Structure 1
Amino acid sequence: MVIENAPGARLNFRPVNLNQDSNVCVGFFEDMLLCAFGSAQQIQDPGGKQRYLQSLREKEAEVPGSIVHVWDETQIVGQIEMSLLKVEPAVGYIHFFYLTPEWRSRGAGKLLLAYATDFFAELGCERMKLSVSETNQRAARFYGHHGWIDIGPRQDRPELRLMEKPIGSAQTAGGSLQS
């Protein structure tokens, strides 16, 4: 799928090929951990990379198409990991939302949100949720600017804020999907 928005902002969304691009996934996850928490220890611990890649395989098996790479014309510039909440099946959850530094603050984030919104809408979801680190104010501002509501700290990890957004025809974040 391709999402277009502003002139020059054309991104292609393709399912992740873990056999070919597992190192890209790990690198993106490591960068996110550093940005959000100041440490990538979780993935650097013995077995951390394998646990992370196994979690991707499990998510993809549960909801096919839920792990995608974002491509510009020639390279991978982002990644989204999504699932359905087991306790609330009408709620889609974004586990990982990532753009490379050179693609941040260029309008591409709203294209990723449009993709995730459309993905969950096609699955019949009514709402989306995600978590953002207390220390990642840039991400919290981005989500708030795009209509996400902070619903408080996560019970299992109070250092993370849970955010939520309804899904509806007016909630698509401004992109247009093309197959």
Structure 2
Amino acid sequence: MVIENALDAPLSFRPVNLNQNSDVCVRFFEDMLLCAFGSAQKLHDPDGTQRYLQSLQEKATEIPGSIVHAWDETQIVGQIEMSLLKAEPAVGYIHFFYLTPEWRSRGAGKLLLAYATDFFAGLGCERMRLSVSETNQRAAQFYRHHGWIDIGARQDKPELRLRLMEKAIGLMRV
């Protein structure tokens, strides 16, 4: 899938190839952990990297196309990881939403949101959810700007200080 953007360069979305790009996935995940929580220790714990890559493989196998890289013409510039909530199958969940630093604040984030919205709509979802760290105000502001609503603290992991955000799929505003 190719989505045009205001940067005059299309982004294409391709399923992650873990055999070729697992290092990119790990690097992006590490940067997200640093941005959101100030530490990537979770990834560096024994078997942390292996557990992360195994979870990607499981998600990609369960729902093909749910783990994708965003490419500019020559390189990977972003990543999205998605699944369906088991308890609420009409709700799509974005586990990971990432752009490289040089692609942030340039309009590319809305292209990732458009991809996720189209993906979940194709699966029959009515809503999307994601979690955002209370310390990552830049991300929270981005989601609010694009119509996401803060529906409260995540109760299952209070130590992480995560907020749940939700958006109805029929109300896409980019």
How would you bin the TM-score normalised by the shorter chain? over 0.9
**What is the aligned partner in structure 2 of residue 137 from structure 1?**
137
> Offset of 1:7 from its aligned partner?
4.5
Alignment of 1:1-179 (within 5 A): 1-158=1-158, 159-168=161-170, 170-171=171-172, 173-174=173-174
CA contact (8 A) 1:9 1:108 kept: no
Segments of structure 2 that go 5 or more residues without pairing to the other structure are none
Q: RCO higher in 1 or 2 (8 Å CA, sep ≥ 6)?
A: 1
Tell me, in whole angstroms, the C-alpha distance in 1 between the residues paired with 2:9 and 2:35: 24
Partner of 1:177: none
Percent of residue pairs identical: 83
3-state DSSP of counterpart to 2:73: coil
How far 1:61 sits from its partner (Å)?
1.2
Per-residue deviation, 1:9: 3.9
Structure 1 unmatched ranges of 5 or more: 175-179
TM-score (norm 1): 0.94
- Partners of 2:152 and 2:9 lie apart in 1 by 33
* Whole-angstrom distance in 2 between the partners of 1:32 and 1:164: 20
2:143 alignment partner AA = Y
Aligned residues: 172
Q: How far is 1:145 from its partner? A: 0.3
Structure number with higher helix proportion: 2
The 4+ residue runs of structure 1 with deviation greater than 3 A are: none
